[in-house]
Amino acid sequence: MSIFETFRLTSIFAASLSVGFLTLQSTQAEGTIAVPPGNRSVTQPAIPKTSADRARAFNTTYDEKYEQIIALLTRETKLVTQIKEAAAAYRLDPIHIIGALVGEHTYNVSAIGKVQTYYVKALAYTNADFSFRYKGVPVQSFVKKPEFKECATLTGSAELWNCRDQVWDDHFRGKTVDNISYEPISFQRAFFQPFYGGQTFGLGQISPLAALEVTDLVHRVSGLPLLTPDQPQAVYRDVMDPDRSIIYIAAILRDAVDAYQAEGFDISANPGITATLYNVGQPRRRAAELKQAVDNGGTRKYPVENYYGWLINEKLDQLEQLLHSNSQ
């Protein structure tokens, strides 16, 4: 039985629970700020220079890249079916997964012509010899330093890796500790790019750290094995394999929705916001910062989309058609 045949059974069960879940959610959501659909910005926020440089290097444009991923999603009806199944299992509108895919392939990488090509690429990493380390120190050893003591009691993978990310920023990033100089770069970039900078992988352009953050959610909902940093080949297998990467995209988006819900914001009706968070990461940190700003009486009341999320909301009607035209 394939991953998605097994996963389809999980999806059917999850869908059967959805009515009861939504009733419970409406009861629990009293006092939650519902983030309305649409963009807060009238015009698209600035696109980073790195994205423009990438498009220029491949002699393409954002419009061309957008049309490529739309064409792939239109052509690959099986993929859209998998998106719908993953969305049901993770209690999401499938437009959130569509938005994440379209944003990534418009601004970061260009869509490969056929999904089958991603399976071939996944095999290339299966037997590769590499590890997650910085200046020769494996990440699983580095996080045993005393600075990470506050993270030791956390059991959820999202909370644990978010804590480690924060400790890196607070105690190591751009600092000299015990006569060792640490570059002013992110935790992800320091430890989880063993081949070259700017690494994300597969159909969903998922970073290894993002996969580790949701591994317990994916294990609980979809039954995939738990990922650990001492088995990097397994991490790459899951983010490169299209069948598995769709599941991880759904889990990452679900985690972002839950992180904002915990701080009193319901972002489930705005795929531009979930796409933004898929792009920038760190949903718990960002949700907490927004909550503090609101509590302090600031003018900002809602999360704001970036250039990537803005496009998704702007193109929402067309993206919705992908789901309807591929109905099976």
| Model confidence pLDDT, tens digit, residues 50-61 | 888 888 887 889
How many angstroms separate the CA atoms of 42 and 65, rounded? 23
| Model confidence pLDDT, tens digit, residues 292-321 | 999 999 888 999 999 999 999 999 999 999
% of the chain beyond a pLDDT of 70: 81
How many angstroms separate the CA atoms of 54 and 260, rounded? 31
pLDDT at 198 over 80: no
**What's the pLDDT band for 46 if we cut at 50, 70, 90?**
very high
At 253 the pLDDT is 98
| Model confidence pLDDT, tens digit, residues 90-130 | 999 999 999 999 999 999 876 555 555 555 555 555 666 68
Per-range mean pLDDT, top range of 5-19, 121-135, 226-240: 226-240
How many angstroms separate the CA atoms of 277 and 280, rounded? 5
Q: Which one-letter DSSP state was computed for residue 31?
A: T
Decide if 134 contacts 157 (C-beta within 8 A). Answer: no
At 81 the pLDDT is 96
At 74 the pLDDT is 94
pLDDT, average across residues 78-98: 97
pLDDT, average across residues 40-69: 90
At 12 the pLDDT is 45
pLDDT, average across residues 236-260: 94
| Angle CA 283–199–132, to nearest 5 | 90
**What's the pLDDT band for 195 if we cut at 50, 70, 90?**
low
CA atoms lying within 13 Å on the CB side of residue 288? 6
pLDDT at 6 over 90: no
Per-range mean pLDDT, top range of 108-117, 182-191, 203-212, 233-242: 182-191
Higher pLDDT, 27 or 13: 13
**What's the pLDDT band for 13 if we cut at 50, 70, 90?**
very low
| Model confidence pLDDT, tens digit, residues 199-215 | 556 788 899 999 999 99
Q: Which residues contact 155 (CB under 8 A, 6 or more apart)?
A: none
How many angstroms separate the CA atoms of 164 and 196, rounded? 22
Helices (H) and strands (E) in the chain, counts: 18, 6
At 17 the pLDDT is 40
At 35 the pLDDT is 97
At 15 the pLDDT is 44
Q: Which residues contact 117 (CB under 8 A, 6 or more apart)?
A: none
pLDDT, average across residues 220-228: 97
**pTM for the full model?**
0.86
Decide if 69 contacts 111 (C-beta within 8 A). Answer: yes
Decide if 213 contacts 125 (C-beta within 8 A). Answer: no
pLDDT, average across residues 260-265: 98
